[in-house]
Amino acid sequence: MGEKAPGWKEIPIGGVIVHPGNSFEYNTGDWRSERPVLDKEKCINCLQCWIFCPDGAVLVEDEKMAGYDYEHCKGCGICAHVCPVNAIEMIPEDDISGVSIDEFGIKEPPPEI
Amino acid sequence: MSKMHALTGNEAAAYAMKQIDPDVVPAYPITPQTELMQTFAQYVADGAVQTEMILVESEHSAMSAGVGASAAGARVMIATSANGLALMWEIVYITASSRLPIVMAVVNRALSGPINIHCDHSDSMGCRDAGWIQIYSENCQEVYDNMVQALRISEHKDVLLPVMSTHDGFIISHTVERVDALKDEEVKKFVGEYKSLYPLLDVSKPVTYGPLDLQDYYFEHKKQQAEAMKIAKRVILEVGEEYGKLSGRSYGLFDEYQTEDAEYIIIALGSTAGTAKAAVDDMRAMGKKVGVIKLRVFRPFPAPELVQALSNAKAVAVLDRSEGFSGIGGPLFQEVRSALYRKADMPVSGYVYGLGGRDITPEMIAGVFGDLKEGRIHEDEAFHLGVRE
């Protein structure tokens, strides 16, 4: 938290959360040491990853797997573990610059030569 | 108008609870608290209260059930002793930090081991830093009065901290004394209705209790607790005065007995203050200028008020009914000496006494006054009063 975080007089007592759903404002993505990336070619859109993700970080559009919310994905790897077709790979954050993915973690197809 | 009863300390606490009629009372028995809950359970069985009494499988569960019920919006009262309090430990802190105004009768008993069921203050002193207000009672009348006042203090909107109202195991808990009780409707009016700030059961305003609170907010929540504890001192005085108007018995942070011109003063908690008053009466009859301060409120600690009360004394002795094992004196001694630091220049002498229910007599207290007069001051380590060499 930066300098803008509220002081002790401004927050509810007892650690009570009075605004439901405010966990969305709390970015847990920087806890991650490994990042899930999706190979769309292998994915069968069974959405097991979406069901099992403990942080609601798997994005779904039109009932299809649409990548990751990296601001909240903690990198636990459950999605990769449950994927029945091994379409999800966990890549160390240190090595991520060597992987070609879009902002949602979907692998870009290799350029055609 | 009050009604006179003959009650044990435990019955006095249970009678106050009956008149308060709390929403939820979770219970698990432990000596010497058992009789208190047994008496209250009879009120429940007789339909004298509307309370939901929850019989749980341990004290950890009792305190946890209390937290759940209080967060839901219920008025919760509970009671325990010694090892039961120790088993509650984790939830004792969570109650205070969740700002749940639960009132708990702690019937003081030595904490094991070796196992002992008799009185000392090692149980409640052990959790003096848990964030609970602590009020100590001298006799059965005070047990009743303090239980009634504790709710008002705890539930005050500027406080919202849990309160331990303690009384000495067996010495008070199982001794029958005269107790003047208020009428049921007077108590009902005095404690009023409890309205929770964030009731979980109000589904139109959903809230979360007990979320993860890390480096970025935990410190702010501790600061809030510390400030509420400071405010509690003011509220305790206001409630004590209002209670005095109602009952004829007003209460402060501590009680001064023959201290006005006293050269030597003893500070003690609980039933020992009564013994010390008897010793003071005997010594006053012989022309000795001695007095007693009975500390009623240990948390928050009334430091400046005590300094003021002690300002004319030549020397002070502090009687601790728990060891503390610091090597330099018991917990009450350390607080008193710390309060006096750079405020008054007088010897402060520390005594540890009465562990595991060992008797303390007026003669022993007269001996402490003798030590003060003769300049035998135990300021580097506590003197163990009444132990066999």
- Asked if A16 and B209 come within 8 Å (Cβ–Cβ), the reply is yes
pLDDT score at A1: 47
What's the rounded Cα separation, in Å, for the pair B154 and B164? 10
Total residue length of chain A? 113
- Asked if A16 and B207 come within 8 Å (Cβ–Cβ), the reply is yes
- Write down the CATH number for the domain with range B3-247: 3.40.50.970
DSSP summary character for residue B201: T
Percent of chain B whose predicted confidence (pLDDT) is above 70: 99
User: Which one of B210, B213, B220 has the shortest CB-CB distance to A7?
Assistant: B220
pTM: 0.92
Q: Model confidence at A26, in pLDDT bands (50, 70, 90)? A: confident
What kind of fold does domain B254-385 have according to CATH? Answer: Rossmann fold (3.40.50)
Residues 89-118 of B with CB under 8 A from A: 97-100
Give the strand pairing for B254-257 and B290-295. antiparallel
Phi–psi pair at B276, nearest 5 degrees: -65, -35
- Asked if B160 and A14 come within 8 Å (Cβ–Cβ), the reply is yes
> What three-state secondary structure class fits B319?
strand
Q: Which residues of A touch B227 (CB under 8 A)?
A: 8
Q: Which residues of A touch B217 (CB under 8 A)?
A: 1, 5, 11, 15
- Asked if B207 and A18 come within 8 Å (Cβ–Cβ), the reply is yes
Averaged pLDDT, B27-38? 98
- Which neighbouring-strand residues pair with B24? B52, B76
Phi–psi pair at B93, nearest 5 degrees: -70, -40
Q: What is the nearest CA distance from B21 to chain A, expressed in angstroms? A: 26
* Helix or strand (DSSP H, E) at B315: strand B315-320
Tokens of A20: 């439901």
Contacts of A35 (CB under 8 A, 6+ apart): A70, A73, A75, A90, A91, A92, A93, A96, A105
What mean pLDDT is reported for chain B? 97
What's the rounded Cα separation, in Å, for the pair A90 and A96? 10
Please give the ipTM for the structure prediction: 0.90
More confident residue, A96 or B114: B114
> Among residues A44, A98, A96, which one has the least CA distance to residue A73?
A96
pLDDT score at A3: 61
Contacts of A27 (CB under 8 A, 6+ apart): A71, A72
Q: Which residues of A touch B224 (CB under 8 A)?
A: 8, 11, 13-14
Residues 2-61 of A with CB under 8 A from B: 5-8, 11-18, 20
Instruction: State whether residue B226 sits within 8 Å of chain A by CB.
Output: no
Q: What is the nearest CA distance from A69 to chain B, expressed in angstroms? A: 21
Residue B2 has pLDDT above 80, yes or no: no
Residue B369 has pLDDT above 80, yes or no: yes
Tokens of B118: 């008799």
Residue B49 has pLDDT above 70, yes or no: yes
Tokens of A11: 């927050």
Averaged pLDDT, B382-389? 98
- Tell me how far apart the terminal alpha carbons of chain B are, to the nearest angstrom: 52
- For residues B293 and B305, the answer to whether their CB atoms sit within 8 Å is no
DSSP per residue, B105-131: EEEE-PPSSS---S--SHHHHHTTTSS
Q: Model confidence at A36, in pLDDT bands (50, 70, 90)? A: very high
What's the rounded Cα separation, in Å, for the pair A64 and A74? 22
Is A22 exposed, middle or buried, given 0-12, 13-18 or 19+ CB atoms closer than 10 A? exposed
Q: Model confidence at A28, in pLDDT bands (50, 70, 90)? A: very high
Instruction: State whether residue B213 sits within 8 Å of chain A by CB.
Output: yes
pLDDT score at B194: 96
> Among residues B322, B314, B321, B272, which one has the least CA distance to residue B292?
B272
User: Per-residue pLDDT tens for B218-265?
Assistant: 999 999 999 999 999 999 999 999 999 999 999 999 999 999 999 999
Q: CATH for A39-113, among 1.10.10.10, 1.20.1740.10, 3.20.20.70, 3.30.70.20? A: 3.30.70.20
B96 → chain A, closest CA residue: A14
More confident residue, A112 or B376: B376
- For residues A96 and A32, the answer to whether their CB atoms sit within 8 Å is no
What's the rounded Cα separation, in Å, for the pair B122 and B133? 16
pLDDT score at B173: 98
User: Per-residue pLDDT tens for B132-171?
Assistant: 999 999 999 999 999 999 999 999 999 999 999 999 999 9
CA distances from B309 to B74, B281, B286, B304, B370 (A): 39, 19, 23, 9, 21
CATH 3.40.50.920 in chain B, residue ranges? 254-385
CATH 3.40.50.970 in chain B, residue ranges? 3-247
What mean pLDDT is reported for chain A? 92
- For residues B167 and B107, the answer to whether their CB atoms sit within 8 Å is yes
- For residues B298 and B128, the answer to whether their CB atoms sit within 8 Å is yes
Tokens of A104: 């949602």
Tokens of B347: 């010897």
Q: What is the nearest CA distance from B124 to chain A, expressed in angstroms? A: 23
- Which neighbouring-strand residues pair with B267? B293, B318
More confident residue, B105 or A24: B105
Is B278 exposed, middle or buried, given 0-12, 13-18 or 19+ CB atoms closer than 10 A? middle
Averaged pLDDT, A88-105? 92
pLDDT score at A96: 87
pLDDT score at A108: 83
> What three-state secondary structure class fits B90?
helix
Tokens of B223: 């600061």
pLDDT score at B186: 97
Averaged pLDDT, B3-21? 97
Q: Model confidence at A99, in pLDDT bands (50, 70, 90)? A: confident
Instruction: State whether residue B178 sits within 8 Å of chain A by CB.
Output: no
- Asked if A11 and B220 come within 8 Å (Cβ–Cβ), the reply is yes
